[in-house]
Amino acid sequence: MNGKFIVVEGLEGAGKSSVISRIVDELKSAGKTVEQTREPGGTPMAEAIRDCVKHDWDEQVAEETELLLMYAARVQLLTNRIHPALKKGYWVVGDRHDLSSQAYQGGGRGVLESTMRSVSEIALKGFKPHLTVYLDVEPAVGLERARGRGELDRIEQSGLAFFERTREKYLALAKSDDSIVTIDAMQPMEKVHSAVSALIKQYVMGK
Ligand code: TMP
């Protein structure tokens, strides 16, 4: 029996954390065993990569370095947690996955499409989430919320234009893939949560 992998995506300040709690609650009340992950991170080595990639280094961080670190962390997480959990029939709820790399490194940083495809193919071998919930927020709104939580890390300091490009990529990818559902995260939180609950209930019923 195979489980399902549901991912929540969005810019900083989109409200991923509370949406993830809502999804986990819905799945648990439907009787599913749930495992939660975050990216980059989720294993000891991947968490070390997370610290490394967020750190404000006193040297230039090349786009390819950032990309490869994200995928190195992802492969560790897939190997040690996601694949084993799915094999046991668990439902895995992920805070970010591959779509983040496509949007941030592919869209925001402008890494070549051909490079993105090659790295993704080597790392994931065609694996993809069953369902992705993309929480759409205007970068200025999201960054303001993120700033309210404290200091911005290296990636968060990338500037508004970077996040505009990242959002554009998210929206374009969501449009071209039926497994990605876009939810307007600028609505009041209760509306976002009820849209998410309805989506998850419907998804679980169909499985
Ligand atoms: P967060 O999950 O706490 O938002 O932090 C993760 C940061 O890393 C966030 O700025 C998005 C960024 N990121 C990428 O740039 N590429 C990726 O592939 C992933 C997973 C995250």
Q: Architecture of 5-206 per CATH?
A: 3-Layer(aba) Sandwich (3.40)
Burial of 68 (0-12, 13-18, 19+ CB in 10 A): middle
Burial of 101 (0-12, 13-18, 19+ CB in 10 A): buried
> Which alpha helices (DSSP H) does the chain contain, by range?
16-29, 44-54, 63-77, 83-87, 98-100, 113-124, 139-148, 160-175, 189-205
Query: What is the CA(206)–ligand 1 centre distance, in A?
Result: 31
Q: Write the DSSP symbol of residue 186.
A: T
In short, whether 9's Cβ falls inside 6 Å of ligand 1 is: no
Query: What is the CA(156)–ligand 1 centre distance, in A?
Result: 9
Checking if the pLDDT of 188 tops 80, the result is: yes
> Binding site for ATP: residue ranges?
10-17
In short, whether 96's Cβ falls inside 6 Å of ligand 1 is: yes
Average pLDDT over residues 133-160: 93
Question: Closest Cα to atom 16, ligand 1: which residue?
Answer: 101
Residues 30, 196, 152: CA angle, nearest 5 degrees: 120
Average pLDDT over residues 107-114: 97
Secondary structure (3-state) at 140: helix
Query: What is the CA(100)–ligand 1 centre distance, in A?
Result: 6
Query: What is the CA(28)–ligand 1 centre distance, in A?
Result: 26
Phi, psi of 148 (to 5 degrees): -65, -20
In short, whether 156's Cβ falls inside 6 Å of ligand 1 is: yes
Give pairs for 186-191: CB < 8 Å, separation 24+.
Answer: 186/136, 186/137, 186/138, 186/141, 189/15, 189/18
Task: Single out the residue of 126, 129, 121, 69 nearest to residue 96, CA to CA.
Answer: 129
Mutate to test the pocket of ligand 1, among 8, 100, 143 (most ligand atoms within 8 A of CB): 100
Quick one: what percent of the chain has pLDDT higher than 90?
A: 95
Structure confidence at residue 151 (pLDDT): 86
Residues 199, 142, 133: CA angle, nearest 5 degrees: 20
Query: What is the CA(40)–ligand 1 centre distance, in A?
Result: 6
Mutate to test the pocket of ligand 1, among 16, 66, 155 (most ligand atoms within 8 A of CB): 155
The predicted model scores a pTM of: 0.97
Segment 51-83, tens digit of pLDDT = 999 999 999 999 999 999 999 999 999 999 999
Checking if the pLDDT of 192 tops 70, the result is: yes
Checking if the pLDDT of 42 tops 80, the result is: yes
In short, whether 41's Cβ falls inside 6 Å of ligand 1 is: no
Q: Answer whether 124's CB lies under 8 Å from 78's CB.
A: yes
